[in-house]
Amino acid sequence: MVRATSNRPESTRRRQRWPDGYDPENTRKSLIASALELFERRGFDRTSVQEIADRAKLTKGAFYHHFESKDDLLRHIQEEYLEAQLAAIAKIEAGSDDPKVRVAELIRFSLTSVAEYRAHVTIFYQERRNLTADLFAEVTRKRGLVESAFAGMIADGVARGAFRSDVDPRIATFGLVGMCAWAYQWLNVGGPLSVDEVARQFSAMVLEGLYA
Amino acid sequence: MVRATSNRPESTRRRQRWPDGYDPENTRKSLIASALELFERRGFDRTSVQEIADRAKLTKGAFYHHFESKDDLLRHIQEEYLEAQLAAIAKIEAGSDDPKVRVAELIRFSLTSVAEYRAHVTIFYQERRNLTADLFAEVTRKRGLVESAFAGMIADGVARGAFRSDVDPRIATFGLVGMCAWAYQWLNVGGPLSVDEVARQFSAMVLEGLYA
DNA sequence: ACAATGCTACCGTCCGGTCGGAAGGAATGG
DNA sequence: CCATTCCTTCCGACCGGACGGTAGCATTGT
């Protein structure tokens, strides 16, 4: 439970040259990749630092050279995912302002990111409580921004008469977010259901309803 | 990770009488209650048996008298929840066979059970992987029955023309289940949103759509 | 020389689980 | 009615192992 950030100022770090194209930053990446896989499959608590190092064909010493603590690594993973989320939201908000289009876009984007960042997402939702209190608050805040985007678009749709007036934007948002977030439990990239098809079905269900 | 069931054959157990209405079965219950609270708040792995015992004003010795292992307790909690789920499903299936009514009922029931069994639900979804492989399979199977109920009702609605013909029952089911299951992340009984109101909104959104 | 990188060995702590036994009601037998 | 034994419940000390993290050193490129 060590505090303190480990943000290494990339700009001030002189990169060392290693033989035959070896890049020391790769070890960091492979440690993260190793952790992503292990955390996703067995959870944060049941994955030891030793195992993370082993899987990356390194040692604990190397791990603790690159990360302050196990928590620090978790934090890194969470932020990696959140940054991607926020960037994508911004892109959608810069596009069409038709509420229907926006909601459909948001659904599709959410599902895409679940498929793409599967391990990140799983870890994000399952291991949030392992963060320190203040870090948890920060992560929750950023996550709230994503949900606010949903809520804002729906509220906008209601205000402009595109959506039914008796829709409660907060509740509808919870439903939408849940629908999409839950996909991390069952949606696999190689599976029988394509992301686009799922997105289309979800949009149709939510926008037009199931009724014939 | 001990196997073996701890099902004590109640019928063959002679109950002992204790002074002033003391019931030894209360010990078991308070251990479970203690664990429910701690598992929900801090997770299975980060809760020690000692803490569970402490909170119930007992000792580890007492705990291991009533449960075979920590896993055994988790298993007990999971099954407690699943039994309640399956019973409720059966009740709905015995009621109206109008697909629209059934889907609405299922949504309301799902949300109600999330509100009522909040700790159980949280633990169920977050700690499934801590079960042994075969127990996990069993739990997943039972959970599958619940989801099959959703899927069956939607497929039925499509077949009978109540729902649009281009709806994929599998995907719609995933959406519905996700919407409801996700409620464990935000729905609180004492909160500003009543379960019935949320259920009505969800039903309207899914059945009639958002469009004005 | 120096900084970055990675390795080995080690430490203190905590945790799941075990074990022998204490307390005391229930059953038995006289 | 008392004495003995048995069973259930619970206690508390303890064990073995695993885990997060540290310290010191070896190697290598600049």
CB contact under 8 A, B42 and A129: yes
**H helices present in chain A, as ranges:** 25-42, 49-55, 60-66, 70-94, 99-116, 118-126, 133-159, 169-181, 195-208
Looking at chain B, the domain(s) classified CATH 1.10.357.10 span: 71-208
Lowest mean pLDDT among A1-5, A18-22, A202-206, B146-150: A1-5
Looking at chain A, the domain(s) classified CATH 1.10.10.60 span: 21-67
pLDDT digits (tens, 9 = 90+) for A85-139: 999 999 998 999 999 999 999 999 999 999 999 999 999 999 999 999 999 999 9
Q: What is the pLDDT of residue B23?
A: 59
CA-based nearest residue to A135, from A203, A75, A208: A75
User: Which residues in chain B touch residue A98, judged by CB atoms under 8 angstroms apart?
Assistant: none
Looking at chain B, the domain(s) classified CATH 1.10.10.60 span: 17-67
Q: Which CATH architecture has domain B71-208?
A: Orthogonal Bundle (1.10)
Rounded to the nearest angstrom, the minimum Cα separation between B47 and chain A is 11
What is the average pLDDT across B19-26?
Answer: 59
Q: What is the pLDDT of residue A36?
A: 98
Evaluate whether the domain defined by A21-67 bears CATH number 1.20.1250.20: no
pLDDT digits (tens, 9 = 90+) for A70-83: 999 999 999 999 99
The mean predicted confidence, pLDDT, of chain A is 88
Interface of B with A in 160-199 (CB under 8 A): 161-168, 170-172, 174-183, 185-186, 193, 197-198
> How far is it, in rounded angstroms, from Cα A93 to Cα A70?
35
Stronger pLDDT, A56 or B3, i.e. the higher one: A56
Residue B11 has pLDDT above 60, yes or no: no
pLDDT digits (tens, 9 = 90+) for A155-184: 999 999 999 999 999 999 999 999 999 999
CB contact under 8 A, B207 and A208: no
Evaluate whether the domain defined by B17-67 bears CATH number 1.10.10.60: yes
Rounded to the nearest angstrom, the minimum Cα separation between B14 and chain A is 40
Size of interface A-B (CB pairs under 8 A): 144
What is the average pLDDT across A21-39?
Answer: 86
